[in-house]
Amino acid sequence: MSSVGAVVACLEEFAPSNLAEHWDNVGLLVGDRSWPVERIMTCLSITPAVLAEAIQGKAQLIVTHHPLPFHAVKTVNSDSTVGRLLLKLIAAQIAVCSPHTAFDSARVGINQHLAIGLGLQEIAPMIPANGSDPEVGSGRFGTLAEDLTLLQLVARVKSFLGIESLHVVGRDEQVVSRVAIACGSGGSFLAQAVELKCDGFITGETNYHTCLEAEARNLALVLPGHFASERFALLSLADYLTDLLPGVEVWASRTEQDPLRRL
Ligand SMILES: [Zn+2]
């Protein structure tokens, strides 16, 4: 048996909240630190279906990558989706904790996982965090052991993330040797990728005008989707918490799906 407070402290150790972006909302977002915890579910986002699974599975804590609530809340009522989810969470006495961008940026966070999984070498943060540890910060970049064409890089991304299709900006034969990575919606890191002399940039999703900017800069852009770029890490987070919390059952949501379908 553990407690909400003890699990939050474990997560803080793993993904310190001072690594979170300034606009973010991380840490314990719903619940009481003294609540007991024997069952934890991890997920990318809390949706009605994901919450139904947590209630059915008797989770006492949800560790969600995306914060709920994210924006400041002035009312908690059933008029909004966020309000309905919060009412249900509190009624079921399920706590919510979110590491979000602290997890993206952590030493063994999502971007580091992606960089290693895609075979980058000499990996470093795109924007180092303030502090003494040069291995943490926003995004990652590094060099490939050997140059790849954009098509070869795409095959590698698909294979690592287990997806069948993705969006791309660039020519099939364009050569990529130095790659920047920002999980989720990382278009704002494009200028930094150019600054770091990267010729490839992988982020989950971005908008049309950022795609045009990548094209104008001759930067090969690979967009596997927001869900695919982050969801895999919630499986490893569940394993990590299982190892750290003996006697606590931890699972990654089994119902969670990408809301976007490609037809
Ligand atoms: Zn995200």
- Rg of the chain on CA atoms, in Å: 19
- On whether residue 251 sits in a domain, the answer given is no
- Give residue-wise pLDDT tens across range 173-211: 999 999 999 999 999 999 999 999 999 999 999 999 999
Confidence of residue 233 (pLDDT cuts 50, 70, 90): very high
Question: Which domain range does residue 139 map to?
Answer: 107-228
Quote the ligand 1 centre to 65 CA distance (angstroms).
7
d(CA 85, ligand 1 centre) in Å: 19
The answer to the question of residue 184 being in a domain is yes
Q: What is the pLDDT of residue 262?
A: 86
| Ligand 1 center from residue 33 Cα (angstroms) | 25
Rounded distance between C-alpha atoms, residue 94 and residue 51, angstroms: 10
* DSSP single-letter state for residue 127: E
Provide the CATH number for the domain around residue 65. 3.40.1390.30
The phi and psi torsions of 96 (rounded to 5 degrees) equal -130, 130
Longest dimension (CA), the chain: 57
pLDDT at 204: 98
Q: Find the mean pLDDT for residues 30-56.
A: 98
Q: What pLDDT, on a 0 to 100 scale, did the predictor assign at position 52?
A: 98
- Report the C-alpha gap between 181 and 200 in whole angstroms: 9
Whether residue 36 is found in the same domain as residue 136: no
Which two structure tokens, joined as six digits, stand for 203?
Answer: 């982020």
Q: What is the pLDDT at residue 131?
A: 77
162-181: per-residue pLDDT in tens? 999 999 999 999 999 999 99
Of 16-30, 120-134, 212-226, give the range with the top mean pLDDT: 212-226
Give 117-145 pLDDT, tens digit per residue.
Answer: 999 999 999 999 987 788 899 999 999 99
Which residue, among 63, 9, 1, has the nearest Cα to 37 in the 3D structure? Answer: 1
- Ligand 1: centre distance to CA 257 (Å): 14
Q: Is residue 259 part of a domain?
A: no
Same domain for 127 and 32, yes or no, is no
Rounded distance from Cα 188 to ligand 1 centre (Å): 13
Per-residue pLDDT, 130 = 81
Angle at 227 between CA 109 and CA 134, to 5 degrees: 20
Measured in Å, residue 217 CA sits from the centre of ligand 1 at: 25
Q: Is residue 239 part of a domain?
A: no
> Alpha-carbon dihedral of residues 144, 150, 154, 160, nearest 10 degrees?
0
Specify the residue for token string 């063994």: 108
**130, 93: one domain:** no
Domain shared by 95 and 128, yes or no: no
263, pLDDT greater than 90? no
User: What's the CA-to-centroid distance between 226 and ligand 1, angstroms?
Assistant: 6
From first CA to last CA, the distance across the chain in angstroms is: 45
| pLDDT higher at 20 or 88 | 88
Q: Token match 């993904």: residue? A: 15
Give me ligand 1 centre to Cα 227, in Å: 7
- Provide the mean pLDDT of the chain: 96
With pLDDT > 90 as the criterion, what percentage of the chain qualifies?
90
The answer to whether residues 125 and 23 belong to one domain is no
Expressed in angstroms and rounded, the spacing between residue 186 Cα and the centre of ligand 1 is 9
* Residue 183 Cα to ligand 1 middle (Å): 7
Distance 1 CA to ligand 1 centre (A): 30
Domain-embedded: residue 44: yes
130 Cα: distance to centroid of ligand 1 (angstroms):
22
Residue 119 CA to ligand 1 center (angstroms) comes to 22
Please tell me the pTM assigned to this model.
Answer: 0.94
Confidence at residue 199, expressed as pLDDT on a 0 to 100 scale: 97
User: Residues 96, 113: one domain?
Assistant: no
Average pLDDT over residues 19-36: 94
Query: Exposed (0-12), middle (13-18) or buried (19+): which is 110, by Cβ within 10 Å?
Result: buried
CA distance 102 to 107: 10
The pLDDT assigned to 210 comes to 98
Phi, psi of 14 (to 5 degrees): -75, -40
Residue 238 lies in a domain: no
For residue 13, how far is its CA from the centre of ligand 1 (angstroms)?
A: 21
> Exposed, middle or buried by CB within 10 Å (0-12, 13-18, 19+), for 95?
buried
Residue 73: partners with Cβ closer than 8 Å, 6 or more residues away = 82, 83, 86
Distance 66 CA to ligand 1 centre (A): 6
Q: Check pLDDT > 90 for residue 74.
A: yes
Last residue of a domain, one of 55, 76, 100: 100
- Name, in order, each residue with C-beta under 8 angstroms of 169's C-beta and a sequence gap of 6 or more: 211, 214, 215, 219, 220, 221, 223
Q: How many domains does the chain have?
A: 2
End-of-domain residue from the set 48, 83, 100: 100
> Are 136 and 196 found together in one domain?
yes
* C-alpha 149 chain-centroid distance: 26
CB 33: neighbour CB atoms within 10 A? 13
How far is the centre of ligand 1, averaged over its atoms, from the C-alpha of 69 (Å)?
Answer: 14
Please indicate, yes or no, whether residues 111 and 224 belong to a single structural domain of this protein. yes
pLDDT for position 134: 85
> With pLDDT > 70 as the criterion, what percentage of the chain qualifies?
100
Does residue 203 lie within any of the structural domains? Answer: yes
**What whole-number distance in Å separates Cα of residue 193 and Cα of residue 121?**
16
Residues 68 and 111 in one domain: no
Q: Name the token pair of 127.
A: 């924007």
Ligand 1 centroid, distance to 31 Cα (angstroms): 23
